[in-house]
Structures are given as C-alpha cells and as structure tokens.
Amino acid sequence: MTTTKKTALVTGANKGIGFETARQLAQQGFTVWLGARDRARGEAAAQKLAGEGDVRFVSLDLTDPDSVQAAAAHVSDTTGALDVLVNNAAVALGKEEGPASTISTDTIRRTLDVNFYGTLRVTQAFLPLVQKAPAGRIVNVSSTMGSVSTLVSPGNPLGQYGTSYAYSTSKTIVNALTGQLAVELSDTPIKVNSVCPGYNDTDMNGSTGAGQHPSEGAKVVVRAATIPADGPTGTFFDVSGPVGW
Ligand SMILES: NC(=O)c1ccc[n+]([C@@H]2O[C@H](COP(=O)([O-])OP(=O)(O)OC[C@H]3O[C@@H](n4cnc5c(N)ncnc54)[C@H](OP(=O)(O)O)[C@@H]3O)[C@@H](O)[C@H]2O)c1
C-alpha cells in the first residue's frame, strides 16, 4: 500500500530532539513514523503527538538487525516510499572515562554499535524505500563534537564540553558516512546531509538547563529534512551555517 502524503521516519523519537523533530514534521503534514526501541515509551510518545498529525509508532532498535528489518518491512507494507529518513538515535557513553588516551575500547565499541553501525544498518535497510520517493532526504543528526577541524583549531573550543572520545569519534564516522553516501547518490534526487542541532537540554546531557529547548535543535534537523531540490547534499551544517568536517 502507498500513500500520497509525504512520509518520514525519525529514529530515537520517543524523547529529546527526535521527539520534537517528529512533532514538527507531523505539523508540516508528514506521516511520521516515530521509531523507538522500547514499545511502551514509543507508543506513549506517539500518543502525545496524536493531536499534531499522523504519527505512528514503529519498533526500532538500531543494534538489532531483526528489529531494523522488521521496521523497514512494516513501513514498506504500510506507507510504501519513505521521503525522509532522520537518523537521530544515539548514545553518549564514557564521559567519565576521559579522552582518547584513557577511554576503554569497550566503551568505544558500544558507542559505535548504536551511533555508527546502527545508523548504517538503518540507512541500508530503508534506502530502498527512500529511493522509491520522488526526492528523498536523509539527515544524519551529528554533532560539532565530531568535527575534527573544530577539535584541532586553536584552543580546542570543544574542550569545555568534556564529551567522551567515543561519542565524538562516532559522530566523525557518521559525517564520513554522510559524505560517502551523498557522493554515491549524487546522480539521484536524494540529498544526504549531517546537521548539528546545537546544545539542547535532553537526557543525553543530563538536562542541565545550560542548553536550549530540544524543539530549537529540531528546527535544524527539519530544515535538512525538507531541503529544496536546489539545496545542498553532502554538507554538514548547524543553525549558523556550515560546520567544518
Ligand atoms: N542534546 C544535545 O545537546 C545534542 C547536541 C548535538 C547532537 N545531539 C544529537 O542529537 C540526537 C538526539 O539526541 P538527544 O539529545 O535528543 O538525546 P536523548 O534525549 O538521549 O535521545 C536519544 C534517543 O536515542 C534513542 N536510542 C538510543 N539507543 C538506541 C537504540 N539502540 N535503538 C533505538 N533508539 C535508541 C533513545 O531511546 P531510549 O529512550 O530508549 O534510550 C532516545 O530516544 C543524537 O544523535 C545526539 O548525538 C544532541
């Protein structure tokens, strides 16, 4: 079955920036698949957004190949093509383990399992559906923490955040995926971009009150998800413009 409405999938959308991205896409008239690894949390989040538009829970754990395949089959059977894929779900592990010289390789592996391998797994599973849409958009929610050029710039402006090497490296690799996939798909209408949503108060950083509301971060994500036909592909940007790789 197919639908004439535009369809979007947001991973890790039961809370935080993903939830607000799902809300804003629903408000724009998309049929939104709200991906969540926990059924109760996902169904509750979809229920909260019921008044905003057509929001449907789909069970999706990035680390579980069967879950990802089942989600892709469900979306394919129900709404057919996928106009927008937002790779939002991620974890931030090992902040207390310090920098590259001390962090455990196990923490790096567990981080990459979700942030990189999970993102790649979802992208590969859903790409056939994105290719069925007239002008697909893939958004990788990244972070300036993954920007090597920012990291090595004088004074290391990222040093103040103290985020783990595992997290920042996972986002560097996600950015590499953005570039590679954009080139691979460059002769198609599909656009692939990385965005940094800025510093938002979410569970990921303990909602310290030092950041903006995640609805602000979601606006950058939605901008990339709805980029026009003459917009860029293979780029990395935040609310202020291009971010260095
Ligand atoms: N917050 C910031 O300031 C900030 C800054 C830059 C970039 N980002 C990026 O923005 C995105 C959203 O982060 P956030 O701040 O909104 O974090 P968050 O509130 O912690 O939300 C993360 C989401 O990812 C989900 N998730 C984690 N592991 C998963 C898995 N294996 N399978 C499926 N879903 C999984 C979580 O589900 P559960 O609820 O089940 O754990 C949750 O829904 C991330 O990519 C993050 O790196 C955030």
Predicted pLDDT at 98: 78
For ligand 1, the distance from its centroid to the CA atom of residue 12, given in whole angstroms, is 6
Which protein residue's CA is at the shortest distance from atom 37 of ligand 1? 12
| Residues 37 and 59 sit within 8 Å (Cβ to Cβ) | yes
DSSP letters along 61-96, please? -TT-HHHHHHHHHHHHHHH---SEEEE-------GG
Predicted pLDDT at 157: 82
Q: Tell me the C-alpha distance between 38 and 134, whole Å.
A: 31
| CA of 14, closest atom in ligand 1 | 43
Predicted pLDDT at 160: 74
For ligand 1, the distance from its centroid to the CA atom of residue 25, given in whole angstroms, is 18
For ligand 1, the distance from its centroid to the CA atom of residue 1, given in whole angstroms, is 31
**Tokens 């790096």, residue located:** 108
C-alpha distances in Å from residue 169, one per residue of 116, 146, 156, 158: 10, 6, 15, 13
Question: pLDDT averaged over consecutive 10-residue blocks of the chain (245 residues)?
Answer: 79 98 98 98 98 98 98 96 98 89 95 98 98 98 96 85 87 98 98 98 90 97 98 98 98
| Residues 233 and 138 sit within 8 Å (Cβ to Cβ) | no
Q: Which positions ≥6 away from 110 have C-beta within 8 Å? A: 91, 93, 166
For ligand 1, the distance from its centroid to the CA atom of residue 167, given in whole angstroms, is 12
Q: Tell me the C-alpha distance between 183 and 186, whole Å.
A: 5
Residues pairing with 85 in the sheet: 9, 138
CB-neighbour burial class of residue 16 (10 A; exposed 0-12, middle 13-18, buried 19+): buried
Q: Which helix (H) or strand (E) holds 242?
A: strand 241-242
C-alpha distances in Å from residue 201, one per residue of 20, 139, 161: 12, 21, 13
Which protein residue's CA is at the shortest distance from atom 44 of ligand 1? 90
Residues whose beta carbon lies within 6 Å of some atom of ligand 1: 11-12, 14-18, 36-38, 41, 60-63, 88-91, 114, 118, 141, 143, 196-197, 199-200, 202-205, 211, 214
Residues pairing with 235 in the sheet: 193
Q: Tell me the C-alpha distance between 145 and 210, whole Å.
A: 17
Testing ligand 1's pocket by substitution, the residue of 173, 202, 205 carrying the most ligand atoms inside 8 A of its CB is 202
Q: Tell me the C-alpha distance between 118 and 185, whole Å.
A: 20
| CA of 114, closest atom in ligand 1 | 31
Residue numbers annotated as active site:
167
Q: Which long-range contacts (CB under 8 A, 24 or more apart) does 198-205 make?
A: 198/238, 198/239, 200/16, 200/17, 202/15, 202/16, 202/17, 203/15, 203/16, 204/16, 204/90, 204/91, 204/92, 205/92
Ranges of each domain in the chain: 7-235
For ligand 1, the distance from its centroid to the CA atom of residue 130, given in whole angstroms, is 22
For ligand 1, the distance from its centroid to the CA atom of residue 114, given in whole angstroms, is 10
Predicted pLDDT at 2: 46
For 7-235, the fitting CATH number among 1.10.10.60, 3.90.1150.10, 3.40.50.720, 3.40.1190.20 is: 3.40.50.720
Predicted pLDDT at 3: 52
Predicted pLDDT at 190: 98
| CA of 205, closest atom in ligand 1 | 1
Testing ligand 1's pocket by substitution, the residue of 88, 173, 193, 239 carrying the most ligand atoms inside 8 A of its CB is 88
| Residues 86 and 33 sit within 8 Å (Cβ to Cβ) | no
